[in-house]
Amino acid sequence: MITFLKSFSVLVLMSHIATCSFGQKILPNNCDSAILTMDALRKCKLDSVWLMDISIKVNYITSLKTQLLPRYRPVRKSISMPEAVLQHVRELKKAYDSVLSVKTDQYEKDMDKNQLYVQPKAYISSFLSFQLFKFYPDVYAILLNEIHLDLRPTTSRQEFERYKRMFDKLIQSIPRALDEKLSEITGQMWKDESRLPQQGAIWPLQGMIAEDYKKKCNIVNFLMWTE
């Protein structure tokens, strides 16, 4: 029930943003110096810079969910995996979903507080970014990025190493022929993804990772997607 309500709230938010973007003008913040502290006033006035980012993300998510993912969902459904691979996928996806829920709940609380509760547009921009991790997995962003060792809520070194082992076991369990097939599919998928409208968007929890490692992450994300 909670998951349904969260999903419904995301749908309502995106519908409202779309209406504001294409039917009405999004209102500016009411930054009242008689009410706000100096820091809050400064943040309130700076909030408008996030309007373009919101527009880009709404358009990207719209294209992702109505163009790219519907095209590749039948492909993913057609993939037949050995039971050992399937078990590793499910275990990693369970860890991913659990960590994502805990971390996004905390991020949403922290960012509103850090924004002194007067940057609704910055909040919406970040909120949309975090929802993207629910629409399509990003194992590096949520489990394998070392920033989580320091970013609240922190991941312990022991937990972090466990996620890495789970990831490695999954990769190692994939037969060569299946790995080659998945590499071809995900390679083409992310060529297609790169054509979606997203230039200038700011996405959180990303990092500079080696191309080979990125390809492995793309395969794992693809396998976790519909589980």
Query: Which distant-in-sequence residues (6+ apart) come within 8 Å of 70 by Cβ?
Result: none
Q: How far apart are CA 91 and CA 212, in angstroms?
A: 23
Nearest to 186 by CA among 157, 142, 224, 146: 224
CA 57 to chain centre: 11
What does the pLDDT read at residue 13?
A: 53
What does the pLDDT read at residue 11?
A: 46
| CB burial string 40-73: b at 16+ within 10 A, e below | bbebbbbbeebeebbbbbbbbbebbeeebbeebe
Q: How far apart are CA 162 and CA 167, in angstroms?
A: 9
What does the pLDDT read at residue 6?
A: 52
Q: Spell out the domain ranges in the chain.
A: 82-115+136-225
What does the pLDDT read at residue 22?
A: 52
Structure tokens belonging to residue 33: 């110096």
Q: How many CA atoms lie within 13 A of 23 on its CB side?
A: 6
Element (H, E) at 219: helix 211-225
Task: Please calculate the CA angle 152-87-105 and round it to the nearest 5 degrees.
Answer: 20
Cis amide leading into 153 (omega within 30): yes
Residue with tokens 């590096």: 140
pLDDT along the chain (227 residues), means of 10: 47 49 75 95 94 91 95 96 96 97 91 93 91 94 95 95 98 97 97 87 81 96 91
What does the pLDDT read at residue 8?
A: 42
